[in-house]
Amino acid sequence: MYMNFWYAAELSENLTDRPIKVRMLGFDFVLFRDSSGVAHCLSNICVHRGASLAHGKVKGDCIECPYHGWQFKGEDGTCTKIPSLGPDSKAPARAKIDAYPTEERYGLIFAFLGDLPEAERPPIMAVEEWGKENWAITTQGSVWKANYQRSIENTLDPAHTEFVHPSMGYQGDRDDYDVPDLEVVDKDWGTGVMTTFVSPDLPHEKMKGLKGEGQMEAGAGNHGTSATWTFLHFSPHAWAHQYGFNTPVDEKNLRRFAIQARNFRTDPDMNDIINERNAAVSEQDRVVIERLEPALTPLSPTEEVMVKSDAVVVRFREYLKEWEKRGWRIDSAKVEALREEKAFAIPSPARRRSKGWAIESAPTTSPGLTTQTAAE
Ligand code: FES
Ligand SMILES: [Fe+2]
């Protein structure tokens, strides 16, 4: 799992006036709204004695720890109150919690889990159709007991559709089946491919007739470590664009937030049908991906056999290598091995500006340019 990307932490509508605990990248965070309704994301571990901040209370713009009542500001994680020191006391400088940049967009709360300054941060994947006329949008969430990389690679793999998705009209028994040569195109922070191929009509009666001559254009790509796009152009005019925000809970679990935009049959009455169809397709993927062995992508490419239809997957892995070299890959094995005796936090941007953090930065698999080197 990789720091220094934006991750979808929760549906906006699920964060009300109570703090909630969200696990991402193997770490716990507290999400809460301040007195103005602005969402904040802090590391969940109180620096005093390690209590779970998400089990505390929101007090104005702060989160109050349930153990001894210390209060930390949502905006920057600084400690504003230590009740046992009495009124008008000043908290020690080390009494601070990592606070992560947070943004609400597309009905989701995103948190930037890393220490990059604003100008260097990879952006949130754009959902271009959001709020545009003639597009209808639906959002769905799901939970998979699977590794996020396995899930992303499934989205980037055009050869599975024929065999995994009978609900899309595929049966896995066409004699003329092949995957055309893929022309992989890099975009900012990712890669992807669009291809044209012959495809059967959709079996659902309300979806019939969308495809012209049975030709359709489709493709998929990634944006960063955990976001994907899948474009299905059933005809020159009927397009479905799906955006997947796959947030790793830990190495073996993920939450998927899927936003689907369509410019055909935009009547809200169609939303349930579209959601039902997408949930069925996602479920078909889930059962295959949850059974993959090993659960994580093998460390060495020689432990798999790759063919030309795996071109996008291969390119995606090159990106991951690059991000690992920058020092963004968390050493999850080390975090797990030490979990009982040591807490870590994903470094927040403030660690590049100030020293004196009680909780150590998460270890990474490569030294790169992490907080430790920048601030020390
Ligand atoms: S553990 Fe949080 S205030 Fe003591
Ligand atoms: Fe699939």
H-run or E-run covering 110: strand 108-113
Quick one: pLDDT at residue 374?
Answer: 41
Give the position, in ligand 1's atom list, of the atom nearest the Cα of 53.
2
CA–centroid distance, 153 to ligand 2, in Å, is 10
Sequence-distant (≥ 6) Cβ neighbours of residue 267 within 8 angstroms:
136
Using pLDDT thresholds of 50, 70 and 90, give the confidence band for residue 179.
Answer: confident
Strand partners, 255: 143, 247
What domains, with CATH codes, occur in the chain?
1-124+330-376 (2.102.10.10), 136-323 (3.90.380.10)
User: Is 7 close to ligand 1, i.e. is its CB under 6 Å away?
Assistant: no
Ligand 2: centre distance to CA 280 (Å): 10
Ligand 1 atom index nearest CA of 82:
3
Distance 210 CA to ligand 1 centre (A): 59
Helix, strand or coil, per DSSP, at residue 224: coil
Cα torsion 58, 61, 67, 70 to 10°: value is -160
At 376, the pLDDT band (50, 70, 90 cuts) reads very low
Assess whether the C-beta atom of 91 lies below 6 angstroms from ligand 1.
Answer: no
pLDDT at 212 over 90: no
372 band by pLDDT with thresholds 50, 70 and 90: very low
* Pocket-testing residue among 42, 49, 64, ligand 1, by greatest number of atoms within 8 A of Cβ: 49
Answer yes or no: is pLDDT of 371 > 80: no
> Residue 2: helix, strand or coil by DSSP?
strand
> For the segment 222-276, what is each residue's pLDDT rounded down to a tens digit?
999 999 999 999 888 889 999 999 999 999 999 999 999 999 999 999 999 999 9
Q: Is 187's C-beta closer than 6 angstroms to any atom of ligand 1?
A: no
| pLDDT, average across residues 287-303 | 93
For residue 49, the ligand 1 atom closest to its alpha carbon is 1
Contact present, 194 and 207 (Cβ < 8 Å) = no
Percent share of the chain, pLDDT over 70: 91
- Within 10 Å of residue 246's Cβ, how many Cβ atoms? 24
Report whether residue 70 contacts ligand 1, using a CB cutoff of 6 Å.
Answer: yes
Q: What is the DSSP string of 6-53?
A: EEEEEEGGG--SS-EEEEETTEEEEEEE-TT--EEEEESB-TTT--BG
Ligand 1 centroid to residue 334 C-alpha, Å: 26
The residue whose CA is least distant from atom 3 of ligand 1 is: 68
What's the confidence (pLDDT) of residue 234? Answer: 86
- The ligand that comes nearest to the alpha carbon of residue 91 is 1
Atom of ligand 1 nearest to the CA of 46: 2
> Is pLDDT of 351 > 50?
yes
pLDDT at 262: 96
Kindly give the distance from the C-alpha atom of residue 90 to the centroid of ligand 2, in angstroms, as a whole number. Answer: 55
Gap from CA of 328 to ligand 2 centroid (Å)? 28
Q: Is residue 68 in contact with ligand 1, taking CB distance under 6 Å?
A: yes
* Mean pLDDT of the residues in the chain: 91
Decide: 59 in ligand 1 pocket, CB within 6 A. no
* Cβ atoms of residues 74 and 59 within 8 Å: no
Which pLDDT tens digit goes with each residue over 243-254?
999 999 999 999
Per-residue pLDDT tens digits for 122-158: 999 999 999 999 999 999 999 999 999 999 999 999 8
The answer, yes or no, to whether any atom of ligand 1 lies below 6 A from the CB of 182, is no
Q: In this model, does residue 369 exceed pLDDT 70?
A: no
Model's pTM, two decimal places? 0.93
| Distance between Cα 149 and ligand 2 center (Å) | 14
Which of 62, 70, 84, 89 to mutate to test ligand 1, by most ligand atoms within 8 A of the CB atom? 70
Residue owning the nearest CA to atom 1 of ligand 1: 49
- pLDDT category at 182 given cuts 50, 70, 90 is confident
